Structure 1
Amino acid sequence: MDEQLIQTIVEQVLTQLNQTATANETLDHKIPIAVSARHVHLSLEHIDQLFGKGYTLTPKSELSQPGQFAAIEQVTIVGPKDAISNVRVLGPARDLTQVEVSLTDARKLGISAPLRFSGDIQNSAPVTIVGPKGSIYLHEGCIVAASHIHMSPDDARRFNVIDGQSINVRAHSARPVIFTNVKIRVSERYRLEMHIDTDEGNAAFIQGSTYGEILSEEETNHHMPMIENERKPIEQKKTLTVYQKKVLTEQAVLKLTTPELLLPKKTIVTALAEDAARRKGITLVRQ
């Protein structure tokens, strides 16, 4: 085989290998981001109270985390100010009932839901949950879920993070934002995914699937580039003083401090007023 042809083939193979390695390296640093809408986790006791004794939740669709599912069942959550209906129940049943809402939802309900990581409901906001067979009042249990990342031990080693660590993540979206204090949650049961609520998703203009990347402290503190229009100085619009009287006199001109004076069509300007305007460098503008 021609030596030049062999060299060309080798170069093409090496180029493909480098492109594959670069693509894999980029993929290795991507964390899928999912926007989590308001939802409810129920204990077995509260499932019985809301849906009937011995009731079992009916899976509607699987969630990204293995073993977790969105149930067909929905409830209404009620606060002192308003109520929100058709709130999805997630399964399976948990030890403690927990309601997760956005800050916008909390304000609609009229409650002060604290920003917490899932499971931390002590001294959180009270809320009422209404189902088809009954209702329950939680003295505590409603939170605004803090952003977090689920990952396996292999993922944690790849990203060089540990369980419980707080990191910063830049979302790659139409409106890139940096999420700070994002908690790492590591378990053999977890699949790699970052969870944010609807308020955060809207702020970042996230539509459809997107991803984020963990930032170093240096990258976090680096100033984001300005939009091109923001670099341009804002032009100050000139404002004209409008003369209100029927006759413009010399004395009136001598009192002026504006560089331009707007005159209505019917305003009479005396010769002395024109001379005074020229001396002071005042421009008389007719409407």
Structure 2
Amino acid sequence: MIQSREERIKLLQVVAGELYRTGGYGMRITAMQEVLGKSFTEQQRSDLEAYVRDFIACSFMVRNEDSYRFSHRSLLEYLAASLLALEIKHDAPHLLREVQLTHAVSNWLVDIYRAQDAAQWFTTLWQWIESTKRQPEASAQFLGGNAVSLLLALGAPLAGRDFSYAYLKGGQLADANCQGAIFDHCTLCDVDLMNAVLADACFTSSQFYSGDLTDAQIEGTNFHSCRFEGVIWYSARVGALRLSGSELKLYIKKQEMFAGSIVTEVWFTRPRGGGGGRSGIRYAFA
């Protein structure tokens, strides 16, 4: 049977990781056998059902009808976070590539980082963002977005950083200070930028899909040649934008994207290399 505490914790992490990946809370014993069987020895797999039942009997899992679940949701989240911490430690992102980081698991990761004083995490997370540059969605998935979310949660400065060409799907950047940051040619899908400081940031030729810029500070920001789809701008503080070639022109003309926003003036500028400066077209909304 399963003896060591370390072995049981490892198996609990495997189960928690699978539930985190699927978004589930409970798991049937047949599914658990399949998941845990990959972590068992050949001898253990020869009597798989008995080993799994022994594991359940000595774990923090309780039965709920025909499935087993962790006694507390927070335990599942902590175990999932401890598994993700190992991915960062060993520079081997699997779940962090496949699944968007939740706030609860992110908070546990911050606690684990502080307890371990794992300074190398910063280097690894920045390298992961670099690895998504010019990569297709199928390859990058949530890796870049999760990395930047966790960097923000850990207190890393983002202002002035160069994210050019990165794939930042699902990034949680609410309240982030990204002043002067460079997001040229980035893909920002489902990125939360609520109340973020984006003053003087550059998003040239970037693609925004289903992002949230509610209450964001967007002053002097360069959106030249950007593509926008399903972006929320409610109550954004907007002023002196550079938008030449941007699809946002169409939204501005309809005054749909800035409902409830504080808009001082929006200028359409000439593309880079075309002489610079303002084109003289100004929109000032009351």
| TM-score interval (norm. to shorter) | under 0.3
Which structure ranks higher in relative contact order (CA pairs < 8 Å, sequence separation ≥ 6)? 1
**Whose strand fraction is larger, Structure 1's or Structure 2's?**
1
TM-score if structure 1 supplies the norm length? 0.21
**Whose helix fraction is larger, Structure 1's or Structure 2's?**
2
TM-score if structure 2 supplies the norm length? 0.21
